[in-house]
Amino acid sequence: MVKVIAHRGASKLAPQNTLSAFRLAKELKADGFENDVHMTKDGHIVVCHDYDIDETSNGTGHIIDYTLEELLKFDFGSYFSPEFEGEKIPTLNEFFEISKGLSIINVEIKRPFD
């Protein structure tokens, strides 16, 4: 049986690795999700592919250099389309909550770079 895994959510239709992208992938009947996670300066786990937020938000810098509270001030949707303005970086807990009911979850743990 073929299973469909949404890489970074429905990343061609919504900003990658956002709750909007994961919700849309679920609506499109994906069997599972793939994502990447990083640790923040204050020990929270957030969902983002890159080590930095330069390409996917209105901020710059490395995730490890920010607290979760600081990261939540950035917009992770406008780079993709104005309709996603205000999208926030998701936490791993939020990702797991939206993943309920799926048969496949692939979480790639990114270790801090040296």
Q: Return the active site residues.
A: 7, 49
Distance CA 40, CA 100 (A): 24
Distance CA 110, CA 61 (A): 16
Give the CA radius of gyration of the chain.
13
Would you tell me how many other CB atoms lie within 10 Å of the CB of residue 66?
A: 22
Distance CA 96, CA 8 (A): 13
